[in-house]
Structure 1
Amino acid sequence: MGAHSSGVVPSTSTDRRWYRIVGGAPLTGSVEASGAKNSVTKLLVATLLTPEPCTLTRVPRIAEVDVVLGMLAELGTQVEWLDEHTVRLATEKIIDASLSEAYSGVNRIPILMMGPLLHRVGEAVIPLPGGCRIGKRPVDFHLAGLRAMGAEIVEQLRSVQVKTLGLHGTHVALPFPSVGATENLLLAAVRAQGTTVISNAAVEPEVIDLIMFLQQMGALVDVEVDRTIVVQGVDALRGATHAPIHDRIEAASFASAAVATNGRVEVVGARQEHLATFLNHLRRLGGEFEVTPRGMTFFRAQPLTASHVQTDVHPGFMTDWQQPLVVLLTQAKGASVIHETIYEDRFGYTRQLAEMGADIALSTLCLGGKACRFASRDFEHSAVVSGPTSLTGGDLAIPDLRAGFAYVLAALVADGTSIIRGTRFLERGYEDPVGKLRSIGAFIDTQAVGSPPAPTTPRPDRNDGAAGPGACR
């Protein structure tokens, strides 16, 4: 395939299509988890640190990757797809260190480009980040760390102007183990003069994946105990080839779908060590798993029962696992409690689930095992899910990426037909969700915006006493 030729931001003002899902079918079969969005997008930025070519395999063909490639092309990166999921990038020269304000609010990737651009050309103008509407997600930690490393930063209304005569090592103690701030400091520290120590750093698998890539490029990075990362700066980095980790969020999403629909799904590429905390919770509520030569198989082992979950930084329960799990808990007997400690405004999506019949009550109290940083701040960051409840098909509008799969899962569980709009949010992070779901038995099709609804597909009978092919009996 030819070189990537466009730096234009894809339009997100309207959706090209919507999904129509008929619920009731147990999902059975095998599906492969793509390369992790939250890793791949950072790896793409890391290629700016060297003028030499870098190659990434297992790159998902999703909207978020296209947007980042557009940003890189604008800066001067030559991008060539070698096959469907392998991309070669070479930034021999930065042609423009001012990223277009058209990218302001699109996602949070531009803020990570400051360090690489400072090393390459000594200055940059970066639009302020955006992303899903799940909380404020400030960049204070990022900017404070870069200032401590010698960057001069001028904050403007829609952008940040940075420049330096040279970054130097320092000790940065993060107030919270932010994934984005840790990645930003890593990208700035690997070519800074001297040693940088990042205390209270994030150690998510995606962060470790970035470190592995940087190490292949010639960086010196030690991950020590107590969330401490030590980076010894080097003068230059070289090109490298790297296979990103599989997406643990996508793996957990399909695992939840298998258990919720009482099916049996093998997720190729799923890794137990990346899902350990999720697996414990899945087993407690009635799900089960088996490790296979290619990944992991998920199914329901017993009737679903209520569970208590508190999101946290790795190795805790990931905040992006929360949304499909909430749908799964609507089918569990008893009252489940979910305490969200990462983002203050992540339960807004549950209101549309309630319209489908879910019994979900939100609370400003810390209902987990401990108080969190949102205590007494009037944020509805805890949820009580009572079940089991019968969901009915509805007309749903996706508000953000992770809520998108929760709505798809709710539609798969529900009686009747659901229409899901706002599919662009889901397709930011899930590669070919329609094709993958169809391959494991989902009744899902797509309609172009403005077209009349297709005839209703007969709902599969779930009460005939027979399990579907491969279903857990």
Structure 2
Amino acid sequence: MGEFVVRGGKRLNGTVRINGAKNAALPILAATVLATEPVILHDVPDLRDIHVMIAVLRSLGMTVEKAGRDVFVDPRTLNSYVVPAELMQEMRASIFLLGPLLAKLGAAEATQPGGCAIGDRPIDLHLYGLTSLGATVHDEGGRTVLRAKKLVGNEVHFPFPSVGATENVLMAAALAEGETRIRNAAMEPEIVDLAQFLERLGATVRGAGTPDIRISGASMLKGAEHTVIGDRIEAATFVLSTAAVGGDITVKNCLVDHLPGLWGRLQEIGVMVEEIDADTVHIVSEGRFKPIPVSVATAPYPGFATDCQPQFMSFLLAVPGVHLVTERVFENRLGHAAQLRRMGAQIIADQRVALIYGGHPLHGAYVTAPDLRAGAALVIGALKAEGESVIAGREIIERGYEQLDVRLSALGANIQAR
């Protein structure tokens, strides 16, 4: 298992450009199945999950070439609807292929996906949405098999605004007959980016970014060229790292409107936040704060992002006062609390709620990343801590952060991968 070695206490200064969003690129790669002509994608991050998705597409017969941050996909050689079990277990995002394969080939087959252990994430809402469009579902030897002679538009009303289920239905509906209406749809920016990609293919999508999305199905979708949006969670991680340890950084390709709730809280605590333009933000922090209690609860977009909660908790350790963090999206996403306590953090946590006693010094320790975003939180804690920390599970962190050690080092951090 790989590790990050961090020697804390270094301020961060300079400029960092945010990469394309993994959580936008993965469903967009899945959506290339729907096209009948080649697709070119720009600013695709160079991450393990991306490589797994490319391997899945190739296993289905498609031609995929990656050159730097550009990906060329030719879907015309698609010849299979079975997602290999071993690849499905490597990455939860493989589930995004159910909708496109069902719409394109009339069938899709996969096992329960793998991914980070941050709570129960069943695929029942995915299946509910796809069966609402006319699919049938049954199990064959532990594999989920979906079939449909024809998908027909319908109203799909989700009991919870699931991002993945919204994206799966959105993709399937793009080739369904008639209009599909998704009620209580997830509103994340990554869904808007997917909808814009589908429109470039020739689909008609209205309302993406609202709880009410309407899709008019097309008989055929063509090829397109598309640039993936910047990764808002990566942006928040660099911002919160700087806020915690102190520094002065400019963050480029950061769509400021994609992180509601973050900027105001940072300003209230004493971090200077200057919006240079729509995708550039300037952050200045002294790393020392007046005592102030902070309370934050995660919620579906535009609420406070659950993917930012662990990193924000690490930042709160630098803020004197008693803080409350409530996790309302996943029931098991406070695993980083126990690891941060190894660094001296004063945190009382159960599965959903954590009390953080901020303003106390942290010290270096050996810790293990329980999941992707928790791993990022441990990096922030280590950057703030006195002495040396070793963070095991580097591969888990690198599922969502490309060359994190190199980019933080460029800003002045003392961090090495090994």
TM-score range, shorter chain: over 0.9
TM-superposed CA distance for 1:225, in Å, is: 9.0
3-state SS, counterpart of residue 291 of structure 1? strand
Match in the other structure for 1:69: 54
TM-superposed CA distance for 1:162, in Å, is: 1.1
1:84-233 matches, within 5 Å, as 84-156=68-140, 158-223=142-207, 227-233=211-217
Match in the other structure for 1:321: 308
Look up the equivalent residue of 1:325 and give its one-letter code.
F
- Tell me, in whole angstroms, the C-alpha distance in 1 between the residues paired with 2:266 and 2:116: 26
Match in the other structure for 2:33: 48
Q: Which runs of 5+ in 1 are unaligned?
A: 1-14, 364-379, 448-473
Matched, 1:435 2:406: yes
Matched, 1:396 2:360: no
3-state SS, counterpart of residue 292 of structure 1? strand
Look up the equivalent residue of 2:289 and give its one-letter code.
P
Q: 1:167 touches 1:193 (CA, 8 Å); kept in 2?
A: yes
TM-superposed CA distance for 1:418, in Å, is: 0.6
Matched, 1:254 2:254: no
Look up the equivalent residue of 1:310 and give its one-letter code.
A
How many residues are treated as equivalent by the alignment? Answer: 415
Match in the other structure for 2:9: 24
Distance 1:271 1:225, change over 3 A: closer
Distance 1:98 1:395, change over 3 A: same
Matched, 1:287 2:271: yes
Q: 1:110 touches 1:127 (CA, 8 Å); kept in 2?
A: no
- C-alpha distance after superposition, 1:152-178 (max 9, x if no partner): 111346421111101111111100001
Matched, 1:273 2:260: no
- C-alpha distance after superposition, 1:398-432 (max 9, x if no partner): 11110111111111000000111110111111111
Distance 1:221 1:419, change over 3 A: same
- Tell me, in whole angstroms, the C-alpha distance in 1 between the residues paired with 2:417 and 2:303: 36
Q: Which runs of 5+ in 2 are unaligned?
A: none
RMSD of aligned C-alpha atoms?
Answer: 1.5
Distance 1:327 1:77, change over 3 A: same
3-state SS, counterpart of residue 243 of structure 2? helix
* Corresponding residue to 1:409 among 380, 387, 408: 380
Look up the equivalent residue of 2:39 and give its one-letter code.
C
Higher helix share: 2
Q: 1:284 touches 1:307 (CA, 8 Å); kept in 2?
A: no
Matched, 1:240 2:211: no
| TM-score normalised by L of structure 2 | 0.96
Q: 1:359 touches 1:385 (CA, 8 Å); kept in 2?
A: yes
Q: 1:189 touches 1:231 (CA, 8 Å); kept in 2?
A: yes
- Tell me, in whole angstroms, the C-alpha distance in 2 between the residues paired with 1:76 and 1:86: 20
- C-alpha distance after superposition, 1:107-141 (max 9, x if no partner): 22222212211222211211211211000111111
Match in the other structure for 2:325: 338
3-state SS, counterpart of residue 92 of structure 1? helix
Q: 2:335 touches 2:374 (CA, 8 Å); kept in 1?
A: no
- Tell me, in whole angstroms, the C-alpha distance in 2 between the residues paired with 1:156 and 1:391: 51
Match in the other structure for 1:303: 289
Q: 4+ residue runs of structure 1 moved beyond 3 angstroms?
A: none
- Tell me, in whole angstroms, the C-alpha distance in 2 between the residues paired with 1:226 and 1:31: 31
3-state SS, counterpart of residue 188 of structure 1? helix
| TM-score normalised by L of structure 1 | 0.85
